[in-house]
Amino acid sequence: MSDYKLLINGELVAGDLSMDVVNPATEQVLSACPRASEAQLDQAVAAARAAFPAWSAQSIDARKAVVAQIADLIEANAQELAQLLTQEQGKPLADAMGEVYGTAAFFRYFLSLDLPVKVIEDSEGKLIEAHRRPLGVVGAIVPWNFPMILMAFKLPPALIAGNTVVLKPAPTTPLTSLKLGELIRDVVPAGVVNIITDANDLGAPLTAHPDVAKVSFTGSTATGSKVMAGAAGLLKRITLELGGNDAGIVLDDVDPKEVAPKLFNSAFQNSGQVCIAMKRLYVHESIYDEVCDELTAIANDTVVGDGLQQGTKLGPLQNRMQFEKVQELIKDAAQHGTISAGGEVMDQPGYFIRPTIVRDITDGTRLVDEEQFGPVLPVIKYSDYDDVVARANASPYGLGGSVWAKDLDRAYALASKLESGTVWINQHADLNPAVPFGGAKQSGLGTELGEEGLAEFTQLRVISMVRG
């Protein structure tokens, strides 16, 4: 039996069903885990609905005090949460610690925001105000690559705005979320936060539930499209943070030795399982060979292993399905390019793939056109700047992108032409809770983080009064 429990209506309860959570570094069962039934999903939504009137009637400062206590609890239990995160997700312990402390910091950032009434007109004859009202019950759905920090994009703004929440982590990484439920149970009023788990079967009913007012979803584009369809019947509010195929463009004036470690980290952090990882790298022909050689050398030097072992830089893929998908993409890429580093699965238990560099490959191949979401980077040669911009933009995705150059004016001009939600210059995947984040095209709908991210959890209500 598992020590983990669901959090429903302020109670830690056993799941009606059960499932195993596997450690991706060993392929051994890490823990049994409760799995909610559809009846328990209904109970969680009912609890959130019942808690909404009192919670939304509190002052924003009272709600912030609860969010601050959650941040304190995350920090006070950082070691235990990080250890668990490494074991269920696979990432190295230092990265897991970074994610857990980052989660607390993201919670705290939202304490700095308010939802003041905006006075549009205050004249002798008229008063017009814009108010931001909470929506009701929010369904928060999270994927398996960053179970903690992606939850922190949703929970604090939803709560501060006055909503109540049903949180559903991914089936393969539910334990840190359940641990969080156990930690916060005594500081959050009953029903305000509910945490349930599933085997990929409760996302759809949560999305379509008549008492859920908004769905805040992070995951793949294919599932995001299902969420949009599921929410359409009742015209629910949705925020979708979806897949990406971020291009990095390296101009001809960079020093390959200097830039290569930054490029490598941008692509391979979290073993490439990052929505905003650099997923295709375009390098100018004049420095193409040198950049490929540098990346190859770094990849060959990288220590891959169990995230709990000291010195590990990259952990395993998070789950078998992703492990198999990435292997398939590498096999296909070998037909169209040259594998200069990695390419092989490690001869040991665990979903390990060594960091893989594929050079002499170009657009029109699966590895370049699809989202690999794993430790393999295609490096593509280009010669013309307009052409490389067109190639970077010729994707259904538009999450992030980056330009790397010494000449910042040239880099800025090129960056301005990229069709993505964020464009970085001389960096990639830099996230800051104060900076709004969202995808263009099929990478998403709406915004998270920043003031805009808080506003997404509200309904605008205008009051317009004639005086006298």
Nearest approach, Cβ of 53 to ligand NAD (angstroms)?
Answer: 27
End-to-end CA distance of the chain: give it in Å, rounded: 69
Nearest approach, Cβ of 284 to ligand NAD (angstroms)?
Answer: 27
As annotated, the active-site residues are 241, 275
Do 388 and 365 touch, CB atoms closer than 8 A?
A: no
Phi-psi group of 93: left, alpha or beta (phi > 0 → left; psi -120 to 50 → alpha; rest → beta):
alpha
In terms of Cα–Cα distance, which of 163, 165, 167 is closest to 134? 163
Cβ nearer to ligand NAD, comparing 32 with 228: 228
Cβ nearer to ligand NAD, comparing 109 with 373: 373
- CA gap 422, 408 in Å, rounded: 17
In terms of Cα–Cα distance, which of 50, 70, 66 is closest to 58? 66
Cβ nearer to ligand NAD, comparing 230 with 350: 230
Nearest approach, Cβ of 245 to ligand NAD (angstroms)?
Answer: 9
Chain contacts with ligand NAD (rule: CB under 6 A): 141-145, 150, 168, 170-171, 200, 203-204, 207, 218-220, 223, 226-227, 241-244, 275, 371, 373, 399, 439, 444
Cβ nearer to ligand NAD, comparing 55 with 373: 373
Cβ nearer to ligand NAD, comparing 201 with 363: 201
Nearest approach, Cβ of 177 to ligand NAD (angstroms)?
Answer: 10
- CA gap 240, 421 in Å, rounded: 13
SS3 content of the chain, % helix, strand, coil (to 5): 40, 25, 35
Q: CB burial class (10 A; 0-12, 13-18, 19+) of residue 331?
A: exposed
Nearest approach, Cβ of 198 to ligand NAD (angstroms)?
Answer: 6
- CA gap 462, 183 in Å, rounded: 39
- CA gap 344, 284 in Å, rounded: 28
Cβ nearer to ligand NAD, comparing 222 with 303: 222
Cβ nearer to ligand NAD, comparing 189 with 205: 205
Using CA of residue 285, residue 289, residue 295, residue 299, what is the dihedral sign? positive
In terms of Cα–Cα distance, which of 14, 35, 23 is closest to 168? 35
Instruction: Select the residue whose beta carbon is closest to ligand NAD and give its number.
Output: 203
Strand partners for 314:
304
- CA gap 420, 454 in Å, rounded: 21
Do 248 and 404 touch, CB atoms closer than 8 A?
A: yes
Question: CA 433, 152, 244: angle at the middle one, nearest 5?
Answer: 70
Do 405 and 284 touch, CB atoms closer than 8 A?
A: no
β-strand 237-241 against 214-218: which pairing, if any?
parallel
Nearest approach, Cβ of 202 to ligand NAD (angstroms)?
Answer: 8
CA 362 vs CA 96, 186, 358, 369, 426: distances in Å: 34, 55, 10, 9, 23
Cβ nearer to ligand NAD, comparing 203 with 315: 203
Give the dihedral of Cα atoms 116, 120, 122, 126; nearest 10 deg. -120
Cβ nearer to ligand NAD, comparing 227 with 440: 227
Nearest approach, Cβ of 15 to ligand NAD (angstroms)?
Answer: 15
Q: Can you give the length of the chain in residues?
A: 468
Which amino acid appears at position 185 of this protein?
A: R
Phi-psi group of 119: left, alpha or beta (phi > 0 → left; psi -120 to 50 → alpha; rest → beta):
beta
Nearest approach, Cβ of 452 to ligand NAD (angstroms)?
Answer: 14
